[in-house]
Amino acid sequence: MLKKIALFIFICLLLTLSVYSDGSNSSQTKVLLPGQIQTNNNVIFSSSGQYGFVATYRRIDGTSDNEVYSFNTSTGKIVDSKQVGLSPSVIASDSFGTMVVAGSAETQSPTAELHILQTDEQGKFSPDSCVSNISVPMAGFGDFMPNQVAISDLGYALFSNKASVYVFSTKNTFNNVCGEITDVSEIIAPEDYRTNNQLINIDFSRNNNTLSVVWRKNNESFSILLYQLTFNGTLVPIAVNPANQITNEIVLPPGEIIAKGSNVAFDNTDSEIYFVSSSTGTIYNYKIYGGGLVEKGRYQLFADGAIQATLTSPRNITFRNIQLTGGSQPILFISRPLGISRPLGKKQNSVVIVRANDASLVSAKLFEEQSVMNTAINSSGTTSYIVMAEGSIYRFETLTGEVTAIEPLSDQILNVYLQDQTGLLAITSMNTFSGSVNLMQAD
């Protein structure tokens, strides 16, 4: 206990030593969108970084939209648009220019409409496209329409409707038609589905086509399911727990909560996963092939206790292997995007970087801003970019903890994305009536 207290005090001391300096964006391009966007309307880039893609979920006049746009990242001009499902949000792409856009359909029962598109080297959409429609269970007020999509380089994509995981084809082949569902893994039977018994998150690594699924069984019981996507479009459970009734299930200790919006991070080889409990602030590690659940460390900063807010206060985690002069250093970049204030104390938006092997502290930063925070980190793990909804933008050096304030935006900031090959930073924002993508070159 004394060690944990000392560690937390050390974090606080680090925060007071963080250095701020004025930054400026000498070259910034703004993409003006003919519609409104929200946090889930993400930006993706072509492999060259010359073109970006984003969907708008609502027109400027407030009516539902169904368009995805491509834009030139140098000029900010919109190049092309394509009609997709109603209120599109998330876009996922593979390495070959195929993308899947998540939207919804005008049907009697809730249905996710997943549009599969092709793009060319000029950022234009192919006239050909296909659709996969997947029914979504709803358990009344407070339930949500899922929009997470994972896409592999094998010609398949994955989608969870909160009760089952679906695999569908993203191209026409000898065996499959584009949009065809090739496999379904039912996890929760229709009669057992409810808001506190649902699948709340999926994470997919294309390195070895490994999928993790977070299952909220009730308010204090959570588990993670692991699968392998095969070359023929099927999901094979990874038997990490052969003695259990569900062989691919990692059962968390009672009371350990993975909040909605939290994620699971894979290491570089897909042989280990990492995640953070929102209730106790514990950083966990699991070795998929011949291991078990290991508690790496606890940070009081990430612990919200057994309160309702814990279920919706996410912890986001990213694994990076930093190359140093004397070798490599695996680190975990962890962020708390939503601060809380309560009678027993205030817990702020924060980023904490720890060593992956023992969760010992590398650097940290707490932010005074009360607005929602989002982050992006480069592939080398050395630099991250942090944006606050009220407009502030920061550059954060992971190894030193040095913070540089970048020229803020006047619009409401929604999210941030980094095209690592070109060092292009994209920050989505909203003014009163329409959305924008603000492009700038990362240092």
> Each residue of 14-48: pLDDT tens digit?
433 333 334 444 468 999 999 999 999 999 999 89
Q: 373 to each of 265, 392, 441, how far by Cα in Å?
A: 19, 9, 20
Quick one: average pLDDT of 252-267?
96
Cβ neighbours of residue 369 under 8 Å, at least 6 residues apart? 349, 388, 390, 392
Quick one: average pLDDT of 329-339?
93
Does 7 score more than 70 pLDDT?
no
Cα distance between residue 205 and residue 263, in whole Å:
12
Does 1 score more than 50 pLDDT?
no
Q: Looking at residue 342, what is its pLDDT? A: 64
Task: Say how many domains are in the chain.
Answer: 1
Q: Looking at residue 21, what is its pLDDT? A: 36
8 A C-beta contact, residue 19 and residue 33: no
Looking at residue 271, the DSSP 8-state letter turns out to be S
3-class DSSP state of 302: helix
pLDDT band at 414 (very low <50, low <70, confident <90, very high): very high
Cα distance between residue 35 and residue 194, in whole Å:
34
Q: Looking at residue 278, what is its pLDDT? A: 94
Q: 345 to each of 189, 248, 312, how far by Cα in Å?
A: 41, 39, 18
Domain CATH code at residue 320: 2.40.128.630
> C-alpha angle with apex 339: 55 to 304, nearest 5 degrees?
115
Cβ neighbours of residue 271 under 8 Å, at least 6 residues apart? 287, 288, 289
8 A C-beta contact, residue 242 and residue 248: no
Does 9 score more than 60 pLDDT?
no
Does 2 score more than 50 pLDDT?
no
Q: Identify whether 220 is part of a domain.
A: no
Cα distance between residue 59 and residue 161, in whole Å:
26
Q: Identify whether 245 is part of a domain.
A: no
Q: Identify whether 368 is part of a domain.
A: yes
Q: Looking at residue 352, what is its pLDDT? A: 97
Does 151 score more than 70 pLDDT?
yes
Cα distance between residue 149 and residue 222, in whole Å:
21
Quick one: average pLDDT of 298-312?
86
Q: 377 to each of 64, 204, 316, 319, 385, how far by Cα in Å?
A: 33, 18, 12, 10, 6
Q: What is the pLDDT of residues 88-121, one digit of tens each?
A: 999 999 999 899 999 999 888 999 999 999 999 8
8 A C-beta contact, residue 13 and residue 33: no
Q: 91 to each of 49, 95, 101, 103, 151, how far by Cα in Å?
A: 16, 13, 5, 10, 10
Cα distance between residue 154 and residue 95, in whole Å:
10
Q: Identify whether 429 is part of a domain.
A: yes
Q: Counting Cβ atoms within 10 Å, is residue 211 exposed (0-12), middle (13-18) or buried (19+)?
A: buried
Q: Identify whether 306 is part of a domain.
A: yes
Q: What is the mean pLDDT of the chain?
A: 90
3-class DSSP state of 426: strand
Q: Looking at residue 286, what is its pLDDT? A: 97
Cβ count near 348 (within 10 Å): 18
Strands (E), 152-197: 156-160, 164-169, 181-186
Quick one: average pLDDT of 63-70?
90
8 A C-beta contact, residue 58 and residue 435: no
Quick one: average pLDDT of 40-65?
92
Q: Which residues of 83-97 are buried (b: 16+ CB within 10 A; e: fewer)?
A: ebbebbbbbbbbeee
Q: Identify whether 144 is part of a domain.
A: no
8 A C-beta contact, residue 223 and residue 213: no
Q: Looking at residue 327, what is its pLDDT? A: 86
Cα distance between residue 354 and residue 240, in whole Å:
26
Q: Looking at residue 325, what is its pLDDT? A: 83
Q: Identify whether 130 is part of a domain.
A: no
3-class DSSP state of 11: helix
8 A C-beta contact, residue 372 and residue 413: no
User: Which has more confidence, 20 or 379?
Assistant: 379
Q: Looking at residue 229, what is its pLDDT? A: 98
pLDDT band at 341 (very low <50, low <70, confident <90, very high): low
Q: Looking at residue 321, what is its pLDDT? A: 96
Q: What is the pLDDT of residues 173-213, one digit of tens each?
A: 999 999 999 999 999 999 999 999 999 999 999 999 999 99
Q: Identify whether 406 is part of a domain.
A: yes
**Owning domain of residue 301:** 1-32+252-443
